[in-house]
Structure 1
Amino acid sequence: MADFTNRRRITSVTQLNPIQVEQVALCGAAYDDEDLPADRRLSSDPQDEAVLNFCELWDVVVDGSPVYEAWFYQSDSGTIFLAGTTEMVAEIIQCGLECANEDRELELGMAMVRAGLLPSGDSEFERFRRAADGSP
């Protein structure tokens, strides 16, 4: 069972390891199709439109081991990577989970529901909630 843990607010590249710096740049590119460096994405300049506001990083663990790194930004967006890599496996678009792999989507969706990260108004919320509760 996957769980979102170790939530931290990210405001500077100095908080990140080299892979996470790359992940931030990829998050920004996924969001706005602009190829910009991570330090620009995390700039403290409020006028910089490239900034990923409200940037949070979570570990997603299974049996105590990190499996994914989940980034949430811009209040309703995010990107999920395999832990320690730049391989994107899912995205958060307008608060909803988007994932091509059905098993992974269910695993992440249930974990998001348990962590309170998926709004109850999302079209998939009930499916993930029932699966997390073991309901039919």
Structure 2
Amino acid sequence: MAEFTHRRHITSVTQLGSAQLEQVRLCGTAYDDEDLPAERRLNQDAPDDEAVLYACELWDVVAADGTPLYEAWFYQSDSGSIFRAGTTEMVAQIIQCGLECEDPQRELELGTAMTRAGLLPPGDSEYDRFASGVS
């Protein structure tokens, strides 16, 4: 059973490792199709259309035994991107607060964990399914 843990507010590239810097770049590209470096995405002095990740949140998603599974980024109040831990492989996205994932098993795992962590709004069309943990 996956669990969202270790929530961090990210405001600077100095808080991140190399894989996370690339994740920030990929988050921004997924959000607005602009390929900009993490330094521009996290710069509060950059134009608003570039700094879409300023003051974002980064969560670890871990297995029951504490093994890191994913790194989940939340930004712009209703968006996010989820990567396999320590990689730049994007496995899911948050679009208008809803979870989008091509792998049904992973979607259920992440959706259930998001529901338990209070990260999926009760009004989401998939909330009841994820809250019950049934596919």
Q: Quick check: TM above 0.5?
A: yes
Q: Does 1:87 align with 2:86?
A: no
The 5-angstrom pairing of residues 1-136 of structure 1 reads: 1-45=1-45, 47-51=47-51, 52-62=53-63, 63-131=65-133
Moved >6 Å (runs of 4+): none
Root mean square deviation, CA, Å: 1.4
Deviates more, 1:88-97 or 1:47-56: 47-56
- Over the matched positions of the two proteins, sequence identity in percent amounts to 71
8 Å CA contact 1:4, 1:112 repeated in 2? yes
Question: CA separation in 2, counterparts of 1:97 and 1:53?
Answer: 21
The TM-score normalised by the length of structure 2 is 0.95
Give the letter for the 1:30 counterpart.
Answer: A
8 Å CA contact 1:41, 1:50 repeated in 2? yes
Question: CA separation in 1, counterparts of 2:59 and 2:85?
Answer: 10
Question: CA separation in 2, counterparts of 1:46 and 1:121?
Answer: 34
Question: CA separation in 2, counterparts of 1:54 and 1:104?
Answer: 27
Alpha-carbon offset, residue 70 of structure 1 = 0.2
Alpha-carbon offset, residue 66 of structure 1 = 0.6
For residue 3 of structure 2, give the secondary structure of its aligned residue in structure 1.
strand
Q: Structure 2: any 5+ residue segments left out of the alignment?
A: none
Give the letter for the 1:113 counterpart.
Answer: T
- 1:64-120 CA-to-partner distances (Å, cap 9, x unmatched) read 111100000000000000000000000000000000000000000000000000000
Alpha-carbon offset, residue 47 of structure 1 = 3.8
Q: Structure 1: any 5+ residue segments left out of the alignment?
A: none
Give the letter for the 1:8 counterpart.
Answer: R
- 1:22-66 CA-to-partner distances (Å, cap 9, x unmatched) read 000000000000000001000111643211244000000002111
Number of aligned positions between the proteins:
133
8 Å CA contact 1:80, 1:89 repeated in 2? yes
